[in-house]
Chains A and B, each alone.
Chain A
């Protein structure tokens, strides 16, 4: 079977690498990664891929719609979304956050394993990204609470434990998160200092 040329448009290098690994497992294909989206149309013309994989929410996606259209408006070479033969696959792809643009005439049985692999990898990287965001947010919360505690300890002459208890009680009374109360305190202290 001939190798397919697959182009992955993904700014984040680590994410792109994960997707490449997934596709490598689906068979021997020529995979190109594009991390810069400036001049996208020109780069695609150079690579001339059989399949382009891009995140559903990538701002550059509309450029691909334009290219797909230019290749023949009613040939529908566009996106797996088009392919009514497998509505389930289409939905799975969009829910995972990946859209695929496929050249006209490529058989569905050749596309499916690649898209299955891409969907699995996109799910994985989305999960990783969500976890990373949650970790970051927790870290931010921790920092702001520490600063609020320090302000209370200094101005009220209380120890760390009492400062945290005070923050927590205030948060409960106001039905807010401890980090929110801490944020308000830090901001107010900033204004007063």
Chain B
């Protein structure tokens, strides 16, 4: 059987693993697909290549199709998010100078307590605080806004885009005081002694959706068979990646020169959930630091689209109601269900939910019986009801 070839774009991050694993371990071939993976250099390029049809699908920050549907950035064809590929995988880091001041006031760098980290930071920072994120529309930007929301820091921060490979240098040169970025770039800053890790993304938001599988709306509508196969191939790759015994293998594959081209040891930290938080080598075990599948992590909740749209609308001074409606249409729960139902995958009965309501894994109604949803709480206890917008 000859394989149908699809061109996919990705950025060299550990959360590109589902695409790489789908191709390398044959999950794509099982679906009759050959994935032609192209490493790209920035998110704008990924967006442009998808918009002009130079690639059929992309590994993309989950808020990017949301912003696209809201009319932000250049005019492009509509994008659809087919599934979430990963949750978590990010960390907030502070400069070496700030880390020293935090230690001086007795902060223990537990990595898992955002409230303590935030309050300690507020105590040592009096003026402006510049925080780097990889892209204006990113989970990282949402996490930073959430992290400082209930603190005086909210009035002090400026969020600025810095390309992930340049984060460590920006921190060292004082261009930014802190940053929030996906692995391996947070660990890279620790390795170069530019800074120390302060808090894990998942400690701020347990189900922080990081990357998604994105295609143009036109592709999803005109090539339904390949769309469904792609969803299934990546779903299987994600399930494989959440087998704890597979993570070290995944790190080896990702590290290769034709993919991330980085030492396996650096790729491994995030995947195994063993982060070095400082150049001195303090290790913080962080189980579930990044998740690819468990707890319905792949489901593209429409409530998630609404939540991210509201965050972007508020940051940009736009009407949140229109933004939420536009964004929800991009999250294709219908295609996700149709692709995975025939293979007996667990599918939630609802397509929208109250975000942030689950402090621990909880059974929920599925299309067929019950299923377990992973925890999705925010550290500050906030919840978001897409119909009533309570937070």
Question: Are A73 and B74 touching (Cβ within 8 A)?
Answer: no
Name A37-82 residues within 8 Å CB distance of B. 37-39, 41, 56-66, 69, 73-74, 76, 78-79, 81-82
Closest partner residue, chain B, to A81 (CB atom): B74
Count residues on chain B whose CB falls below 8 Å from chain A CBs.
Answer: 33
Given A74-B71, A79-B74, A84-B75: A62 touches B160 (CB 8 Å cut-off): no
How far, in Å, is A11 (CB) from chain B's closest CB?
Answer: 12
Given A57-B40, A57-B41, A61-B42: A41 touches B160 (CB 8 Å cut-off): yes
Q: Is B155 at the interface (CB under 8 A from chain A)? A: no
Question: Are A66 and B45 touching (Cβ within 8 A)?
Answer: no
Count residues on chain A whose CB falls below 8 Å from chain B CBs.
Answer: 27
A81 proximity list for chain B (CB < 8 A): 48, 51, 74-76
A73 proximity list for chain B (CB < 8 A): 72, 316-318
Q: Is B314 at the interface (CB under 8 A from chain A)? A: no
Residue from the set A62, A79, A82 with the largest chain B CB neighbour count within 10 Å: A62
How far, in Å, is A68 (CB) from chain B's closest CB?
Answer: 8
Given A66-B136, A79-B74: A94 touches B317 (CB 8 Å cut-off): no
- Stretch from B161-169, B263-271, B291-299, B351-359 contacting the other chain: B161-169
Q: Is A91 at the interface (CB under 8 A from chain B)? A: yes
Select one of A58, A66, A79, A94 contacting B41, CB under 8 A.
A58
Given A61-B42, A73-B318: A82 touches B161 (CB 8 Å cut-off): no
Select one of A57, A58, A61, A76 contacting B74, CB under 8 A.
A76
A59 CA / B163 CA spacing, docked (Å): 6
B135 proximity list for chain A (CB < 8 A): 62, 65-66
Closest partner residue, chain B, to A87 (CB atom): B52
B173 proximity list for chain A (CB < 8 A): 38-39
Q: Is B192 at the interface (CB under 8 A from chain A)? A: no
Q: Render B338-372 as a binary contact track against A, CB cut-off 8 A, 1 for contact.
A: 00000000000000000000000000000000000
How far, in Å, is B74 (CB) from chain A's closest CB?
Answer: 4
Closest partner residue, chain B, to A39 (CB atom): B175
Question: Are A65 and B73 touching (Cβ within 8 A)?
Answer: yes
Q: Render B39-69 as a binary contact track against A, CB cut-off 8 A, 1 for contact.
A: 0111111001101101000000000000000
B163 proximity list for chain A (CB < 8 A): 59-60, 62-63
Question: Are A69 and B136 touching (Cβ within 8 A)?
Answer: yes
Closest partner residue, chain B, to A63 (CB atom): B161
Closest partner residue, chain B, to A60 (CB atom): B163
B49 proximity list for chain A (CB < 8 A): 94
A60 CA / B166 CA spacing, docked (Å): 9
B71 proximity list for chain A (CB < 8 A): 74
Name B15-61 residues within 8 Å CB distance of A. 40-45, 48-49, 51-52, 54
Question: Are B166 and A62 touching (Cβ within 8 A)?
Answer: no
Q: Is B330 at the interface (CB under 8 A from chain A)? A: no
Q: Is B134 at the interface (CB under 8 A from chain A)? A: yes
Residue from the set A59, A76, A79 with the largest chain B CB neighbour count within 10 Å: A59
Question: Are B161 and A66 touching (Cβ within 8 A)?
Answer: yes
Question: Are A38 and B318 touching (Cβ within 8 A)?
Answer: no
Q: Is B178 at the interface (CB under 8 A from chain A)? A: no
A74 proximity list for chain B (CB < 8 A): 71-72, 318
Question: Are B74 and A38 touching (Cβ within 8 A)?
Answer: no
B131 proximity list for chain A (CB < 8 A): none
Question: Are A38 and B175 touching (Cβ within 8 A)?
Answer: yes
A63 CA / B134 CA spacing, docked (Å): 9
Q: Is B305 at the interface (CB under 8 A from chain A)? A: no
Ordered by A's residue number, 9 sampled pairs between the chains whose C-beta atoms are within 8 Å are A56-B44, A57-B42, A59-B165, A65-B161, A66-B160, A66-B161, A73-B318, A76-B75, A81-B75
Contacts A37-B166, A59-B163 supplied; 9 other A-B pairs, CB < 8 Å? A39-B173, A59-B41, A64-B44, A66-B160, A66-B161, A69-B73, A69-B316, A94-B48, A94-B54
Chain B residues at the A interface, C-beta cutoff of 8 Å: 40-45, 48-49, 51-52, 54, 71-76, 134-136, 160-163, 165-166, 169-170, 173, 175, 316-318
- Pick the 5 closest A-B CB pairs, nearest first: A66-B161, A82-B74, A57-B41, A59-B163, A61-B42
